[in-house]
Amino acid sequence: MRFSNFTSNYNPAVFGILLALLGVLILTPDTLVMRLSGLERWPLMGWRGILMGATLFFIWRLFPSQDRLQELRSLGSWQGILVVIAFGLNSITFTLGIAETSVIVVLTAVALMPLVAAMLSFFMLGEKQGWLGWLTIMLAMLGVVIVVMDGGNALGQPQGSVWLGAAYGLVTAFGLALTFTVTRKYPALSILPACALGSFLSGVVGFALSADGTIFIAPIWTIMVMGMLILPLSFTCLGIAPRYISSAIVSLMMLLEMVIGPFWVWLGIGERPTATMIGGSLFVLCVLMFHVV
C-alpha cells in the first residue's frame, strides 16, 4: 500500500498536516520569483493565472476519478461558482498587493487568514468563537496596523500605497479562507478544477489589462517556475488538505509563509523591512500561535 493511501486511510490528520506543510514550503519563494520576473502587475497576473490554471487542470486529470463528468458538473453549483470567484479574486489581489508595496506588509495581512477562516467557520459550519478568539482577532489586527504604519520605510520596496497593499492582502486572506472553508463543508465539490478555472480567469483579466510590449519581457524561467511549479503544486496540496484537517489549521500552517517569504526576498534582492515591521509581524505570529495553544 502506498504511503499516501495508508496515511489518508488510517491517520487523516497527519496526512492533512503533511500536505499543508508541503504546500506552504513550496509556496514560500513565490514572492521572490515575482520580484525577479520584473513584470508589471497586469502581465504578471496574466502569466501566473493562465499557467497555474492550465497546470492545475492537468494535475486534476492525473488523479484517478470515478466520475470526472460529475466533478465538472459540480463547478456549476453555487458552491463551485463561489470557489471559482474566491480563488480568482485571491489570485488577482495577491498579485496587485505584491506589486503595490513591501512583501512583508502583504504577507502579514494575508496571515490574518486563520482568523477569517475561524469567522467563516462560525457562520458556515457553526463553530463558535469564545472571547479569547475575538481578543486574538483584535490583537492580530493591531499587529497588522503596526506593520502598515511603518511600511513606507522598508528599503527596496515598490513605491505604491502601503495601505492599499495591506487591503489587497486582507482580501487575499478572505478569498483563501473562503476557498478552504467551502472545500471542507462540501467534500463533493471538486476543488482542483474549481481553483484551475478561477486562476485561469484571473489570468485572462491580467492579460486583457496589460499594455502592449509588457507581456514578454520577463526571464522565461521565472514565468515557468511561478506558473507551472510553485503555484499549482502548492495549491494542489493546500486545496486537498482541508479534506483531512480543518480550514483554520490549514490557514495557520500558512503563517510559515509570513516568516519565510520576506526572508527569501530580503536575501534575494535586498528588500529589507524595518525593525518595527519585523516586530509587528512577529507580534501577529505570536498572538496567533498563543491562540492555537
Write the pLDDT tens digit of every residue in 107-153: 888 888 877 877 887 777 676 666 776 777 778 778 888 888 887 77
Write the pLDDT tens digit of every residue in 164-181: 999 999 999 999 889 888
Q: Which of 23, 75, 287 is nearest to 200 (CA)?
A: 75
| pLDDT bucket at 228, cuts 50 / 70 / 90 | very high
Question: Between these two residues, 270 and 47, which has the higher pLDDT value?
Answer: 47
Count of domains for the chain: 1
Cell numbers given for 178? 473562503
Residue 103, SS3 per DSSP:
helix
Q: Which residues contact 251 (CB under 8 A, 6 or more apart)?
A: 113, 114, 116, 117, 176, 177, 180
Q: How many alpha carbons lie under 13 Å from residue 156 in its C-beta half-sphere?
A: 16
Query: Is the pLDDT assigned to residue 102 strictly greater than 80?
Result: yes
Average pLDDT, the chain: 85
Q: Are 36 and 269 in contact (CB under 8 A)?
A: yes
Q: Are 242 and 16 in contact (CB under 8 A)?
A: yes
pLDDT of residue 55: 95
Whole-number Å distance between alpha carbons of 148 and 281? 10
Query: Is the pLDDT assigned to residue 5 strictly greater than 60?
Result: no
pLDDT of residue 262: 87
pLDDT of residue 8: 45
Backbone angles phi, psi at 272, to 5 degrees: -110, 120
Question: Between these two residues, 290 and 40, which has the higher pLDDT value?
Answer: 40
Cell numbers given for 177? 479562507
pLDDT of residue 6: 47
Whole-number Å distance between alpha carbons of 230 and 253? 17
Query: Is the pLDDT assigned to residue 85 strictly greater than 60?
Result: yes
Query: Is the pLDDT assigned to residue 7 strictly greater than 70?
Result: no
Query: Is the pLDDT assigned to residue 209 strictly greater than 50?
Result: yes
Q: Are 104 and 281 in contact (CB under 8 A)?
A: yes
Distance of CA 110 to the CA centre of its chain: 8
Place of cell 517556475: 225
Q: Are 272 and 100 in contact (CB under 8 A)?
A: no
Question: Between these two residues, 75 and 92, which has the higher pLDDT value?
Answer: 92
| pLDDT bucket at 201, cuts 50 / 70 / 90 | very high
Query: Is the pLDDT assigned to residue 86 strictly greater than 90?
Result: yes
- The continuous run of DSSP H or E covering 266 comes out as helix 255-269
Residue type, 108: T
Predicted TM-score of the model (pTM): 0.85
pLDDT of residue 10: 56
Of 105-114, 159-168, 195-204, 273-282, where does the model show the most confidence?
195-204
Domain that holds residue 173: 3-292
| pLDDT bucket at 69, cuts 50 / 70 / 90 | confident
Question: Between these two residues, 116 and 229, which has the higher pLDDT value?
Answer: 229
Query: Is the pLDDT assigned to residue 3 strictly greater than 60?
Result: no
pLDDT of residue 172: 94
Whole-number Å distance between alpha carbons of 285 and 229? 27
